[in-house]
Structure 1
Amino acid sequence: MQEFKHKEFNELFDLSGKTAIVTGGANGIGKATALRLAQAGANIAIADLKLDDAKAAIKDIEALGVKGLAVECNILKDDDLVAMVDKVMSEFGSINILINNAGGGGGGRENPSKISVDDIRRDFELNVFSGWRLSQLCVPHMKESGYGSIVFTTSMSSVNKDPNMSGYAGSKAAVNHMVANLAHDFGPEVRINAVGPGATRTDALKTVLTPEIEKSMLAHTPIHRLGEADDIAGAMLYFASPISQWVSGQTIFVNGGGVQTLDQ
């Protein structure tokens, strides 16, 4: 029987000296994740379309005593991805953690009679292709450093079945399966997993949430509240940290134990 190796609790979550990239990290779940990783000691690079917001988030991060870097980046542009990785390496000298959080699409508006294949293609470019490419760019640096963890933000839509969601939901389902396969390509040095948020109080949800919709969602949610960005960040920290050192290729749904959809 393998001898149990005792580690201090803090050591299991300690990211001191490590560098994390968080795409879409200027606001919402991305920002909450960046702050949580910074609290664990990681230096943070935020890659985001909104450079001013990213710079503001970095100020909060640096107040925690770690180094920060804001980079303007469009994940749909390969040159931006390459330049961003080069800039992070130049600034920090290593890349250990990649949070592929940026994404998007037309979920809830994808009536197949009214959209084109270009709309569906964009879902996959945002949610699948960009993260795959960024992982490809970062993994060699992770392997060189001896520590690597990649986490994708997926979605409950990847397992739910709803109308007007085929492209977005299909792309997120692809993320889940892609992660499971890439675990075999990137291991043993680099782990890769995904976090699927349930209904989380972000600016995007606020645009459609009504008291009636929230009540309906909570009727199907054992933990009787909607998620907060920090709830999702906790799962991101788990996957990024040494405590999950034997976990790869997995998708965990952080959803209060239930299912929340807009048409309940």
Structure 2
Amino acid sequence: MRTIVIIGGSKGIGNAIVKQQLETNCVHNISRTTPDISHANLKHYTADILHNSLPKIETIDTLIYCPGSINLKPIGNLSLDDFRNDFEINVIGAVKSIQHFLPDLKKGKNPSILLFSTVASKLGMPFHASIATAKAGIEGLAKSLAAELATSVRINAIAPTITETSLSASILRNEKMKDNMMERHPMKAYLKPTEVAEMADFLISDKAKSISGQVFEMDYGIVSFKI
């Protein structure tokens, strides 16, 4: 049984990962709200990643940082605070978590870190300037730290296309918008949180012990294909 620390596991992709890992691993979740599940293998800590101290967890094999934002506005409507806030939650929170848990993580079994980017960092998309900038920072962080920690900790990132979570509820708020979103993707679908959780499970496992410093696009073809 491995010990996994998940930041932001109460909702969305993070919650899907918590549920997927609980049966076989010890999961420590850190988030502002409590996950909608109780289990003998789950321990929850209520904390705001940007403003509260993080708990001491001496045994840790994997750190997964899930918090993100969807702040879609024309550049003229984005304030400097919008950019700062998106960078804080996406990048600074990840850095804070890594710095806090890294000493104990280095002592773990096949230790790994998993971060989250977005397809918008690769594909130019209108109104995504703030979030794409922040997530590009996550990709740079993943690659740089993977090189720095190559002999001790693996670090990878997943870059999902739009995923059906509460964060994207305004974009997928009715059947017409869902249909339009599917049509935008060459493979005529978009992501469910459980699909991302399956990829996460692979990347933190021994099956991926040769993989580090990579960003995996889960895009249903929207970045990869031109059809």
Gap regions ≥5 residues in structure 1: 1-15, 260-264
The residue aligned with 2:129 is 166
User: Retained in 1: the 8 A contact 2:69–2:167?
Assistant: no
1:72 has 2:46 as partner: yes
**Who is 1:104 aligned against?**
69
Q: Which one is further off, 227-236 or 141-150? A: 141-150
Question: 1:230 maps to which residue?
Answer: 194
Query: Counterpart of 1:144?
Result: 107
Structure 2 distance, partners of 1:115, 1:199, is 21
Amino acid at match of 1:187: A
TM-score (norm 1): 0.78
Q: Which residue of 2 aligns with 1:217?
A: 181
| Count of aligned residue pairs for this structure pair | 222
Q: Out of 200-209 and 236-245, give the one that drifted further.
A: 200-209
Q: Give the C-alpha shift of residue 27 in structure 1.
A: 1.6
SS of the equivalent of 2:48 reads coil
Q: Which deviates further from its counterpart, 229-238 or 134-143?
A: 134-143
**Secondary structure of residue in 1 paired with 2:75:** coil
Segments of structure 2 that go 5 or more residues without pairing to the other structure are: none
SS at 1:161's partner residue?
Answer: coil
Q: Which consecutive segments of 4 or more residues in structure 1 shift more than 4 A?
A: none
CA separation of 1:146 and 1:44: change in aligned 2, threshold 3 A: closer
Distance 1:155 1:105 in 2: 10
State how far apart, in whole Å, the 1-side matches of 2:185 and 2:77 are.
33
User: What CA RMSD, in Å, does the superposition of the two structures yield over aligned residues?
Assistant: 1.7
Between the aligned partners of 1:123 and 1:203, the Cα distance in structure 2 is: 17
1:206 CA displacement? 2.6
What's 2:85 paired with?
122
- Does residue 45 of structure 1 match 2:28? yes
Work out the CA distance in 2 between the residues paired with 1:112 and 1:218.
26
- Which range is displaced more, 136-145 or 165-174? 136-145
Matched, 1:188 2:151: yes
Q: Aligned partners of 1:171 and 1:96: how far apart in 2? A: 26
* Residue 104 (structure 1) shift: 1.9
Judge conservation of contact 2:3–2:62 (CA < 8 Å) in 1. Answer: yes
- Structure 1: distance between partners of 2:128 and 2:187: 26
Tell me the CA shift for residue 35 of structure 1.
1.6
1:68 is aligned with what amino acid? L
Aligned-residue offset at 1:146: 4.2
Question: How big is each residue's C-alpha offset from its partner over 1:96-139, in whole Å with a ceiling of 9 and x where there is no partner?
Answer: 11110012252x12x33233212211111110111012112212
Alignment-derived partner of residue 243 in structure 1: 207
TM-score (norm 2): 0.90
CA offset digits 1:1-27 (Å, max 9, x no partner) = xxxxxxxxxxxxxxx2x1111111012
Q: Percent identity?
A: 24
Aligned with 2:216 (options 248, 252, 255): 252
